[in-house]
Amino acid sequence: MSAQAGVTPDMISTDATTPSDVLTVGMGQSGQRYSSLSKINTQTVVDLVPAWTFSFGDEKQRGQETQPLIYNGKMFITGSYSRLWALDVKSGKKLWAYEHRLPDGIMPCCDVVNRGAALFDDLVIFSTLDAHLVALNQETGKVVWNEKLDDYKAGYSNTAAPLIVKNLIVTGVSGGEFGVVGRVDARDAKTGKLVWSRPTVEGHMGTLNGKDNGITGKTNASWEGDQYKSGGAATWLGCTYGADVDLIYCGTGNPSPWNAHTRPGDNLYSSSTLAIKADTGKIVWSYQSTPHDSWDFDGVNEFIPFDMKKDGKTIKAGAKADRNGFFYVLDRTNGKLLGASPFVSQQTWASGVDMKTGRPIETANRPGDPGKEDKGSSVFAAPSFLGGKNWMPMAYSQNTGLFYVPSNEWGMDIWNEPITYKKGAAFLGAGFTIKPLYEDHIGVLRAMDPATGKIVWEAKNGAPLWGGVMSTAGNLVFTGTPEGYLKAFDAKTGAELWKFQTGSGVVGQPVTWEQDGEQYVAVASGWGGAVPLWGGEVAKKVKDITQGGMLWVFKLHTSKANSVALK
């Protein structure tokens, strides 16, 4: 045991309500990204100015999708290419740096990003592009343990922030474009040793303490033959946790390959939300948003527990803005569908969701079968596979009761091609071209009312939004843009109140905390991610955005600032 207790499970479970630190990615295990701080508010935000900055340095730039953590006078921040730094949180001075040695031949599908670390006891723990999980000492940056999640040569990687639940560290895996088998792993956070593993493709055996722990679903119930052995359902965006019901919520990606004609059935548990019991690694409930997916509608988006006020009642709910364009509200105790409404302007593939069966009401919008024609017929589908929303996390405000969704308006031509599985090779069986739906904008920040499914306000953006969102009790919503701005909006009206040009595209996740009586806001700047790599005609639109790698920290320009003095 270390002399200082370090970060305890209790501190993790109350992180969302302790504004002097940020111990978790998502600003709490539920991932609401809501802060009770209000010194920076709709009145004072005009006076937000830089306090210090930190350059990630050298020639390794690309996408910076990270979220800083703040604890015990230090900031811990990850960067592209599996790097991690500890900084003095008051000055920005670098205390130590860790650069993971990456082998040649790693296969991240969607840029060399990292989405943040986890804190536990005296450790800071993060995932790497070669599918390892590395724990470093918070004081020294020295490696304490290093566990292999899986074989990067088979297409596995990991970019999501790990989740701490009690004494466990919970991770998923990336690799859905390479025919991996998705799963959720829980390890002893202190030692890194595996406790349980739960595959997310139906038919695979789970484990608990090294012993068989039951098959996921039932073999061949929703897959034919051996297809489940390369079935995808990658858990590449990690998980959230509902402490009151002791359930870990994990989203799963597309079934593999993309060409759905090769794999009859619903292909459980792809494109789904899974609720897994923290202590047993058993699936308690599941909800599949896109059965038998044909469009790469990964269902990985964060499922955020919240208490919904409706008809005078408080409901234990959870919400998810799915890549397929629907905003889902489920009962977080049992997965029952409570609402599903579009948060994008066009959905060609489904006209709605059947509230009785929970299944989408499909239109005829699947690409053709290349086994039956010379080439599978192409269809135009919206959203595109980059999604009505992609990885970038939304925020919930306990003040307004609204969710703030970073959405995008784009479609795609998509067609299927023959494909067979080969270890370590792309496993798509599809071709595509992404197209904007509108001339003047792709990104739209939208405020959604979960009780009604209605869009309350929206703020359009030229380039696709690709950064996380944060809301505060100061009635502000913060998010970044590829054009380089960190912006603050009025949480009630959507009015843009403040923006700051950071010098590169902002695709990071903003945070806020309080120290020495002042409120701070931080975000990483550094353009990249999937859009420049996969974006087709959209990539051309953003080709002039420069890369970067910089952390920006802001505070109000007078230490005693308050709305009265500044007005």
- Using DSSP, state whether 540 is helix, strand or coil: helix
298 vs 409 by CB, closer to Ca ion: 298
| DSSP state letters, 473-500 | TTTEEEEE-TTSEEEEEETTT--EEEEE
Angle (CA) 528 529 534, round 5°: 110
Site map (CB under 5 A) of Ca ion, residues 5-34, x = contact: ----------x--x--x-------------
86 vs 456 by CB, closer to Ca ion: 86
Contact 418, 490 (CB under 8 A): no
Please, what is the minimum distance in Å from the beta carbon of residue 486 to Ca ion? 21
108 vs 176 by CB, closer to Ca ion: 176
Q: In what order do the strands lie in the sheet with 283-288?
A: 239-242, 247-251, 272-277, 283-288
Contact 417, 369 (CB under 8 A): no
Please, what is the minimum distance in Å from the beta carbon of residue 459 to Ca ion? 27
Please, what is the minimum distance in Å from the beta carbon of residue 332 to Ca ion? 22
409 part of the interface to Ca ion, by CB under 5 A: no
Please, what is the minimum distance in Å from the beta carbon of residue 18 to Ca ion? 4
Phi, psi of 22 (to 5 degrees): -130, 100
**Which one-letter DSSP state was computed for residue 389?**
S
**Which one-letter DSSP state was computed for residue 462?**
S
**Can you tell me the distance from the alpha carbon of 198 to that of 467, in angstroms, rounded to the nearest whole number?**
29
111 part of the interface to Ca ion, by CB under 5 A: no
Contact 437, 346 (CB under 8 A): yes
Q: What is the 3-state secondary structure (H, E, C) of 223-259?
A: CCCCHHHHCECCCCCCEEEECCCCEEEEEECCECCCC
Please, what is the minimum distance in Å from the beta carbon of residue 70 to Ca ion? 8
Write down the catalytic residue from 121, 185, 296, 490. 296
52 vs 513 by CB, closer to Ca ion: 513
Please, what is the minimum distance in Å from the beta carbon of residue 22 to Ca ion? 6
Strand segments, DSSP code E, in 272-423 are 272-277, 283-288, 304-310, 313-321, 326-331, 337-342, 350-353, 360-362, 379-381, 395-396, 403-408, 410-416
Please, what is the minimum distance in Å from the beta carbon of residue 177 to Ca ion? 6
36 part of the interface to Ca ion, by CB under 5 A: no
Give the distance, in angstroms, between the CA of residue 538 and the centroid of all CA atoms in the same chain. Answer: 21
Q: Which residue's CB comes closest to Ca ion? A: 18
298 part of the interface to Ca ion, by CB under 5 A: yes
Q: How many residues interact with Ca ion (rule CB under 5 A)?
A: 8
Residue selected from 26, 116, 155, 176 as contacting Ca ion according to rule CB under 5 A: 176
482 part of the interface to Ca ion, by CB under 5 A: no
Return the residues of window 235-254 that contact Ca ion according to CB under 5 A. 253-254
**Can you tell me the distance from the alpha carbon of 163 to that of 536, in angstroms, rounded to the nearest whole number?**
33
**Can you tell me the distance from the alpha carbon of 128 to that of 30, in angstroms, rounded to the nearest whole number?**
23
Site map (CB under 5 A) of Ca ion, residues 257-296, x = contact: ---------------------------------------x
Question: Which part of the chain contacts Ca ion (CB under 5 A), choosing from 113-121, 175-183, 482-490, 540-548?
Answer: 175-183
**Contacts with 538 (C-beta within 8 Å, 6 or more apart), sequence order:** 386, 410, 434, 435, 436, 442, 464, 531
35 vs 341 by CB, closer to Ca ion: 35
391 vs 498 by CB, closer to Ca ion: 391
Site map (CB under 5 A) of Ca ion, residues 118-157, x = contact: ----------------------------------------
Q: Which of 559, 552, 562, 555 has the alpha carbon at shortest distance from 519? A: 555
Please, what is the minimum distance in Å from the beta carbon of residue 355 to Ca ion? 27
Q: Which of 185, 238, 233 has the alpha carbon at shortest distance from 26? A: 238
Please, what is the minimum distance in Å from the beta carbon of residue 507 to Ca ion? 18
108 vs 281 by CB, closer to Ca ion: 108
297 vs 552 by CB, closer to Ca ion: 297
512 part of the interface to Ca ion, by CB under 5 A: no
- Using DSSP, state whether 442 is helix, strand or coil: coil
Calculate the CA dihedral of residues 12, 17, 20, 24 and round it to 10 degrees: 40
The DSSP bridge partners found for residue 47 are none
176 vs 450 by CB, closer to Ca ion: 176
The DSSP bridge partners found for residue 556 are 48
Residue 413: active-site member: no
130 vs 298 by CB, closer to Ca ion: 298
Please, what is the minimum distance in Å from the beta carbon of residue 396 to Ca ion? 16
Q: In what order do the strands lie in the sheet with 410-416?
A: 379-381, 410-416, 430-436
| List of residues contacting Ca ion (CB under 5 A) | 15, 18, 21, 176, 253-254, 296, 298
Annotated active-site positions, please? 296
